[in-house]
Amino acid sequence: MIPIRDTVPAKHHPVVTYALISVNVLVFMVQMSCGPRELQQFIFTYGLVPARYTSGEIAVHFTFIQQAFSLFSFMFVHGGFFHLLFNMWILYIFGDNVEDYLGSIYFLLFYIAAGLASGFLHFFLNLSSTSPVIGASGAIAGVMGAYFILYPNSRILTLIPVFFIPLFVEIPAFFFLGLWFFLQLLNAAGSQAQAGIAWWAHIGGFVFGVLALKFFASLPSARTEEGYHKGAVRRKTSDRLQMIRPSAHGKPGDLYETVRVTPYEAAAGCKKLVNIPRGLHKRMYRVLIPPGTRDGNVLRLKGLGTDNGQGGKGDLYLKVRIEQPW
């Protein structure tokens, strides 16, 4: 299952989420500049290797600063392009909403703490392991755990490849994330960490994310504009992708639904992607909102309706609703 988009709009610009993605990409670029031997040394130095702390013969080759720093740096090192891509995509989807709830500063603290918690759990369960554990998966699992608690009724647009046929389905967030956590438990029960995959680190991060929300809720700053979000910049635009369920009434074959834009988007014009169910499949269409659009204007998309009984297709009518979704 590949998540594409969630249905919860973020109110503020997720500056920390974007910054974390940027840092991970920059570190990966540094990795790619290393030769094969230097890359192996890089991963062993900045990855989390439990035996470096439990074996005196290995520990003597590292300074105190290197030992302390690797407890933090491992969450910014990745084993390959797709490892990086998948982790950053998951962070992009779920991170903005959790940051929106906690505020940028607390979200950064939360992210780092989740990464540390995941690393420590792996460490204590694999004290003699010489395999480096790398990647942001543990910290991101913490973000997923927080999202699981905060937005259980959100829906995740998910791509499920079925015999090379892309199938798009909407899955409730509690089911998507619950299934992901269950799979981590199965893998952890059936195998040890191999090739940098630390299942217990994922589990530790997720559980930390679930439990840590109670701690953050008890902090002095209230979750208001003057609390968590003091100084944050509100977004002017809504998510580009919208999932709609048009209904049929009126002429045979014609469908009707609403597309939502912010006042800024209505004035300046914008492009939206609408995701429309077609039986078990979902199709995406690009919709142009012209500049100066007013609330209640109707856009006609010819031929995107259903069969009209006369050998043709009806039209899709989208009423523009101008509103601030937060």
Q: Which domains does the chain have, with CATH numbers?
A: 2-217 (1.20.1540.10), 241-322 (2.60.260.20)
Give the position of tokens 């090379």. 164
**Which of 49, 52, 24, 29 lies closest to 39, judged by CA?**
29
Question: What pLDDT is attached to residue 278?
Answer: 61
Record the tokens describing residue 192, joined without a space: 């040890």
Each residue of 22-60: pLDDT tens digit? Answer: 999 999 999 999 888 899 989 989 999 999 998 888 888
Residues 212/115, Cβ–Cβ less than 8 Å: no
Contact 238, 262 (CB under 8 A): yes
| pLDDT of 13 | 85
The segments of the chain whose pLDDT lies below 70 read 164-165, 191-197, 217, 219-232, 277-282, 325-326
**Residue 29 has what pLDDT?**
95
Res 282: pLDDT:
61
Residue 114, classed as helix, strand or coil, is helix
CB atoms within 10 A of CB 56: 7
Q: What is the pLDDT of residue 232?
A: 67
How far is Cα 163 from Cα 65, in angstroms, rounded to an integer? Answer: 50
Is residue 320 within 8 Å of residue 266, measured between CB atoms?
yes
The pLDDT tens digits for 89-119 are: 999 999 999 998 888 888 999 999 999 999 9
pLDDT for position 231: 56
Distance separating alpha carbons of residues 286 and 171, to the nearest angstrom: 23
CA distance 134 to 64: 20
DSSP structural state of residue 136: S
Taking each helix axis as running N to C, give the angle between helix 173-190 and helix 199-217, from 0 to 180 degrees, rounded to the nearest 10.
140
SS3 320: strand
Distance, C-alpha 165 to centroid of its chain: 24
Pairing of β 255-261 and β 316-322 = parallel
Q: What does the DSSP 8-state code read for residue 232?
A: P
For residues 254 and 248, what is the distance between their CA atoms, to the nearest angstrom? 6
CA dihedral 62, 26, 12, 108 (to 10 degrees): 0
pLDDT given at position 194: 46
The single residue listed with the structure tokens 């914008």 is 270
Cβ within 8 Å of residue 145, ≥6 positions away: 114, 177, 181, 205, 206, 207, 208, 209, 210
Contact 103, 24 (CB under 8 A): no
Is the CB of residue 117 less than 8 Å from the CB of residue 142? yes
Residue in the structure block whose two tokens are 């309706």: 305
d(CA 104, CA 234): 12
